[in-house]
Amino acid sequence: MQDVAALAAITLVSSLGGSAESLDASMTTILVTSVGGMGMLIGFTWIASRYIVNPALNWSLPIPGMMFIWSLGWCFLFVAIAHGFGLSHEIGAFLAGLSLAQSRFSSELRRRVHPLMNFFVVIFFVVLGIGIKFNLSATMWLQVFTLSACVMLLKCLIIIGVLWKMGRRKEGSILVGMHLAQISEFSLILIALAGRKGLVTQEIQTMVAWTGIITIAISSYGVFFRKTILHWIQNNHRLCELFQWAEPESKSHSPLGETTKNILVIGMNAMGRDIVKQLASRGEMVTAIDSDPVKLKDLPCNTLHGNIHDWDLLDSAGFSKAKMVVSALQIEEANQLLAFRSHAADIPCCVMAPDTLVMPALLELDVSYFMTPFADGIKRQKAELSKRGLLDK
């Protein structure tokens, strides 16, 4: 809802100008123009996310780097369309990201774009910091700290109360409340856009920017004091009555971070797919991982598309809490990397050993189990030939 409200506000602000003629223009005309353009762009977004994005991303997968380049081109296309409708570039970028997020390749796309996103986030805050004034008056500083305190206190309490009403644990509710006790990045984009349009003064932009810096900094470090905050809330009877919290923690809730462990199977060749099906038939929770999305089709388990060299992929698969890691890959370097990470996380690991020459290096990494299909196949062939009298015992 916050994103929707911010999008509506950005649409309205982008339609206004700083001149007197713009501000005196008919509000009806402004609303019709902005809402009409927004409606057309949202319609195009829905059609594109349904009929264009998935086939295009599927086409780009076999070509290294093409998905990354295509997604950037997609974003620039939406920005250009938004500009053609008289809307702000921010709206085009937002809707482009929304359409990409609806695709079945969104997780893989997010991992590939994440480094570039971090780079531009840094650029955004650097540009924001350049325009911040430090020589504020005492009154302005008082307004900044008052606004920051109101934002943090109200957002934290509202989020904690809502999550608790939804049945979440107290400590988990406080953790989320502390993380989100800050103004949204959309606030900074909105106020910057309003400043470019001449709708707000430089002092207002500076005040909002300082509020963002203070709330983001405090909420980032405030999570370390969540137990202290929980103890304070439990000792405050009025807050306990407000949230309807009982004094003791309910024993029905599971410990923080407790999850059902699953088995990660990497490499969906014939052996990998057979392992997945066998484990799933026994009731195990399995996640299949492969760099080819075609090999992940029709599997009776969760699937992830990507390269195991990408730690974000393994992290999203719950690698650190996995019950076991199984690699059906025949790539020595990849198996050694998985064995090393499994050993570091103290997770049992089973890897494919095409021949006995690769086993010493893997044994040094404390691999728990080996799959030796070629050696086992030769043994079975020799046994069968001996049984038929075609080979001397």
pLDDT tens readout for residues 136-152: 788 888 999 999 999 98
| Measured distance CA(46)–CA(53) in Å, rounded | 10
Q: Which amino acid is at 121?
A: V
Position 45 scores a pLDDT of 86
DSSP 8-class letter at 155: H
Q: Is the pLDDT of residue 20 over 50?
A: no
- Residue type at position 349: C
160-204 tens-digit pLDDT: 778 777 766 666 777 787 788 888 877 888 888 788 778 888 888
210-221 pLDDT, tens digit per residue, is: 898 898 888 877
Token pair of 24, please? 């005196």
State phi, psi for 201 to the nearest 5 degrees. Answer: -85, 170
Would strands 302-305 and 369-371 be described as parallel, antiparallel, or unpaired? Answer: unpaired
Give the model confidence (pLDDT) of 345-368 as tens digits.
889 999 988 777 777 888 888 888
Confidence class of residue 251 from pLDDT cuts 50, 70 and 90? very low
CB neighbour burial string for 108-132, b if at least 16 within 10 angstroms, e if fewer: bbbbbbeeeeeeeeeeebeebeeee
Mean pLDDT along residues 309-334: 85
Question: One-letter amino acid identity for 161?
Answer: G
Q: Can you tell me the mean pLDDT for 85-100?
A: 82
